[in-house]
Structure 1
Amino acid sequence: MADQGITVVLAPRLRHFLPAGRRVERLPVTTDGTSSLGHVVESLGVPLTEVGRLLADGREVPAAHVPAAGETVEVRPVDRPQRVPGAPLRFLLDVHLGTLARRLRLLGVDAAYTTPDPGDAALAARSAAERRVLLSRDRGLLRRRELWAGAHVDHTRPDDQLREVLERFRPRLAPWTRCTACNGPLRPADKESVGARLEQGTRSTYDVFAECPACGRIYWRGAHHTRLAAIVDEALHDFGDTAPDTPA
């Protein structure tokens, strides 16, 4: 089938995926007449994890739709807050997002993260097996068909990444309840039970402790607490008034 032209109208939120010289509202695209709209969108550099409704000449169509010559296709971003099927909401982060993973855990959000890098296939398989939303800045990884759900992290600074994920998904926040090292749930620990594993200075200075049963890490309000508390306070102020995540 001969090549044919369509017009793709990308929402402003999606245009940053395009090369700098092509970030226009109406983008002429040549197709082969057999490729699906989803394939066309991905060929422009936009992961389908970022795409919401697709409209062809004003009517809603699925990603499998094959655009006809002359069609104008509107590509909208996912709704925010984004609701993911099933509950509770859980995440899986690739190897480049370790700081983001620890900050999500600080807020009590289930955020799985593994080093060394297990590879794209293993990450995608775990996303499907555990029904976790894969967070990544790797567009190729987000295009893997075996993914259960995914999201592109646009920002590079951890502070901005955290706000981006909280704004997009609005997960339920429960600060200080999850181990930032291994993601396990914390439990209160009395000083007598953990004292043998503490430095003398810590034993004599602090009285309130929590412990991770999964990895044995002990937590207390030490020197870094003020900085961590500021992260928690800001997140609760801006995103802590939402209802618990529920099935879509």
Structure 2
Amino acid sequence: MNGPVIHLEVAPDLHLFVPHAHRAGSAELGTDGVSSLGHVVESLGIPLTEAGTLTVDGREVPRSHVPADGESVHVGPVPRPQQVPGAPLRFLLDVHLGTLARRMRLLGVDTAYESTDIGDPALAARSAAERRVLLSRDRGLLRRRELWAGGYVYSTRPEQQLRDVLERFAPELAPWTRCTACNGPLRPATKAQVADRLQAGTRDTYDVFAACGECGRAYWKGAHHEQLEAIVAEAVRFRAALS
């Protein structure tokens, strides 16, 4: 490429997205003299959902800036907590993040989740239509222009994924208020109201229930409740420590 050559430095938090040649200090990068800095950043492999402040020769510039020859460019990470336009804060997770989706719902975070692969265009369109932050480990999906907002999920471990979401987006928590199966609101229910959804042993053992206002699923403090309590308690402590 015979266009302008810039001196590029990428923040360490973004190194996993770029080739090794751009991970240590400042590296020279040829550009075409026409493309925006945002396009240049994406061409390196960095989803714009993950790029924060862009500076040229020490001054902040918009993504539309067209780099000139000899400029020194620094690509910073998204600030945390990240401010997302619009309210309330809601999420959409792709098919690979089912465990994270259930844990977010457990904490009362409005979390839509596609249990089947509906395709990138449909996911991006739903993000835009419902104004939901799309979370994914698919970099290509996060590059789609129609996204409302998005975030890359850096870890493959659900517990670390949850901490990352809490740190990055700082959602308000309301544990035990959402259905982990469908995201609908939970409300108190009598045993009689959910009796047709209970096995005999459950009816004889438990007296306190809740039911989903959308799918009707019944909830009670069963065998796995202590494990769920631990997940909630840790998340609440972690979220409080960030405030």
Sort the TM-score into its range (normalised by shorter chain): over 0.9
State whether residues 173 and 240 of structure 1, in contact with CA within 8 Å, keep that contact through their aligned partners in structure 2: no
With CA pairs under 8 Å and 6+ residues apart, which has the higher RCO, 1 or 2? 1
Q: Aligned pair 1:44/2:58, yes or no? A: no
Could you tell me which amino acid in structure 1 is paired with residue 81 of structure 2? P
Give 5+ residue unaligned stretches, structure 2. none
State whether residues 49 and 151 of structure 1, in contact with CA within 8 Å, keep that contact through their aligned partners in structure 2: yes
State whether residues 172 and 240 of structure 1, in contact with CA within 8 Å, keep that contact through their aligned partners in structure 2: no
CA distance in 1, matches of 2:148, 2:27: 30
SS at match of 1:48: coil
Could you tell me which amino acid in structure 2 is paired with residue 11 of structure 1? A
CA distance in 2, matches of 1:76, 1:148: 21
Q: CA deviation at 1:21?
A: 5.1
- Which residue of 2 is the match for residue 197 of structure 1? 197
- Which residue of 1 is the match for residue 111 of structure 2? 111
TM-score (norm 2): 0.96
Once the two structures are overlaid, the 10-residue window that deviates more, 95-104 or 190-199, is: 190-199
> Aligned runs of 1:87-166 on 2, under 5 Å?
87-166=87-166
- Which residue of 1 is the match for residue 232 of structure 2? 232
Could you tell me which amino acid in structure 1 is paired with residue 111 of structure 2? A
- Which residue of 2 is the match for residue 2 of structure 1? 2
- Which residue of 1 is the match for residue 23 of structure 2? 23
TM-score (norm 1): 0.94
- Which residue of 1 is the match for residue 168 of structure 2? 168
State whether residues 2 and 33 of structure 1, in contact with CA within 8 Å, keep that contact through their aligned partners in structure 2: no
Deviations, residues 186-245 of structure 1 (Å, cap 9, x unaligned): 1110111112221111011111101002111100000110111110000011104677xx
CA distance in 2, matches of 1:31, 1:150: 27
Q: CA deviation at 1:121?
A: 0.3
Aligned residue pairs: how many? Answer: 243
Deviations, residues 78-109 of structure 1 (Å, cap 9, x unaligned): 11011111111000001111111010000000
Could you tell me which amino acid in structure 2 is paired with residue 105 of structure 1? R
- Which residue of 2 is the match for residue 80 of structure 1? 80
Q: CA deviation at 1:115?
A: 2.2
CA distance in 2, matches of 1:27, 1:36: 18
CA distance in 2, matches of 1:80, 1:124: 23
CA distance in 1, matches of 2:74, 2:20: 20
Q: CA deviation at 1:20?
A: 4.0
CA distance in 1, matches of 2:13, 2:76: 8
SS at match of 2:73: strand
Q: CA deviation at 1:55?
A: 0.7
State whether residues 211 and 219 of structure 2, in contact with CA within 8 Å, keep that contact through their aligned partners in structure 1: yes
State whether residues 211 and 217 of structure 2, in contact with CA within 8 Å, keep that contact through their aligned partners in structure 1: yes
CA distance in 2, matches of 1:199, 1:172: 35
- The Cα RMSD (Å) is 1.4
State whether residues 10 and 22 of structure 2, in contact with CA within 8 Å, keep that contact through their aligned partners in structure 1: no
CA distance in 2, matches of 1:138, 1:220: 36
Could you tell me which amino acid in structure 2 is paired with residue 9 of structure 1? E
Moved over 6 A (4+): none
Identical aligned pairs, as a percentage?
Answer: 68
Give 5+ residue unaligned stretches, structure 1. 244-248
SS at match of 2:87: coil
